[in-house]
């Protein structure tokens, strides 16, 4: 599993590739470290990179292009491709 952290607008965005589950994840924490959003609360917790970006935009921030490339690389390395 990969994990990346990005802080903006008083929030911490934790995201990455979960190899055993085979999908990307996202958890958003407030400045006190409490989760305010998690992909595990969705009916289908599997996320795409575009869904991570769209969710981050709902909280006033975009997924930086450099982070998008890291996630793509994580998936390629972790899935054995």
Residue 62 has pLDDT above 50, yes or no: yes
Residue 79 has pLDDT above 70, yes or no: no
The rounded distance, in Å, linking the Cα atoms of 57 and 53 is 6
Q: Decide: 62 and 53 in contact? Cβ < 8 Å.
A: yes
Q: How many CB atoms lie within 10 A of CB 15?
A: 26
Could you state, in order of their start, the residue ranges of all structural domains in the chain? 4-78
Q: Please give the residue that has the higher pLDDT: either 16 or 1.
A: 16
Residue 81, pLDDT score: 42
Q: 27-44 pLDDT, tens per residue? A: 999 999 999 999 999 999
4-13 contacts: CB < 8 A, separation 24 or more?
A: 4/67, 4/70, 4/71, 6/61, 6/63, 6/64, 6/67, 8/60, 8/61, 9/59, 9/60, 9/61, 11/36, 11/59, 11/61, 13/56, 13/59, 13/61
Q: Please give the residue that has the higher pLDDT: either 79 or 15.
A: 15
Q: pTM for this one?
A: 0.91
């Amino acid at each position: 599993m990969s994990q990346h952290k990005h802080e903006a607008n008083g929030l911490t965005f934790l995201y990455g590739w979960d190899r055993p589950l085979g999908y990307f994840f996202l958890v958003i924490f407030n400045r006190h470290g409490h989760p305010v959003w998690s992909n595990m609360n969705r009916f289908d917790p599997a996320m795409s990179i575009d869904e991570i970006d769209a969710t981050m935009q709902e909280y006033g921030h975009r997924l930086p292009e450099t982070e998008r490339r890291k996630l793509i690389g994580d998936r390629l390395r972790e899935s054995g491709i």
